[in-house]
Amino acid sequence: MMRIIYFINLIMISASMSYAQKSPFVIKEVVDTLAEKKSPGDFINSNYVFFEDDEYIATKTCSGEWGGTVKFKNKKSGIEYACSSSCPVMVNKMSGKYIVTSTLAHLRGSSRIIEIDNPQSMSVFKLSKPRKKHGVIIKYVGDDESKSMQGTRSLIDTIGVLTLASFPYQGELFHVVTDFHTTFLAKISDGKFVNVDTISEKSIWTYNPQVIRTTDNKYIIFFDNKETNGYIEILDNTIVLMRYK
């Protein structure tokens, strides 16, 4: 009987270790209601444009529920190529491809992550033509947001979750995601988010996600909602969640 119990315990321990080894990340949550709150200005941004490499400068616009756009301006030609993105959070370049993360905190929330092989395969960005109503020239919110998905490939398009950031680690792209109940670290597999590890039992989110890439290679993600506020700091495989409430 003792031998059976021993083997059962051994199996349970082995299974627990196997599960723990699935996540290579070290995650810490710090709650300090007395700490002086930091702002984006307290961190030195490594790049003051949305995204830039040798060929392109990327910019973003957001009109909330009426749409958003990510634009890639070719440095040589000056031509801007664009696609729909509601609303752009960040761009990562992985294996020569551009991965655009977008999210929108409207209604149930939504997330879309797309892959762009070549920005020049997207639509050339053009401002919309003004409309006339009763002889008056007008423009509506979202009129100048791109509606095109030409030249893009969807990696995930889902509702009910927000994606606060995406960052590379050891050749893979990871995502900070919340389902409004918990906040977790995820990867994409077969068009779905797969939970890698839990960051917090709280929902960490904000209406306007902002990611700062610092000069010392950290990712800083600010969040602020009626339940909690603070920031997440990511460096390599270490994730620190700093909450003020």
Does the structure show a pLDDT above 60 at 6? no
Is residue 221 in some structural domain? yes
Q: Are residues 234 and 210 in the same domain?
A: yes
Range of the domain at 31: 24-46+161-245
Number of folded domains that form the chain = 2
**Mean per-residue pLDDT for 46-59?**
95
**Residues 153 and 223 grouped into a single domain:** no
Model pLDDT, residue 48 = 86
> Per-residue confidence at 166, pLDDT binned at 50, 70, 90?
very high
In a domain, 10, yes or no: no
Same structural domain, 209 and 236: yes
Same domain, 151 and 166: no
Find, among 97, 120, 87, 61, the residue nearest to 209 by Cα.
87
The rounded distance, in Å, linking the Cα atoms of 138 and 129 is: 10
Say whether both 104 and 38 belong to one domain: no
Instruction: Annotate 195-238 with DSSP letters as a single string.
Output: EEEEEESS---BSS-EEEEBTTS-EEEEEE-SS-EEEEEEETTE
pLDDT band at 3 (very low <50, low <70, confident <90, very high): very low
Average confidence score pLDDT of the chain: 90
- Is 169 a residue whose pLDDT tops 90? yes
| 43-68: average pLDDT | 95
Q: Are residues 68 and 155 in the same domain?
A: yes
Residue 8, token pair as written in the block = 């059962």
Q: What is the pLDDT of residues 175-205, one digit of tens each?
A: 999 999 999 999 999 999 999 999 999 999 9
The neighbour count for residue 98, using CB atoms within 10 Å, is 21
Is the Cα dihedral 127, 84, 219, 235 positive or negative? negative
pLDDT in tens, 74-91: 999 999 999 999 999 999
Residue 66 belongs to some domain of the structure? yes
Identify whether 4 is part of a domain.
no
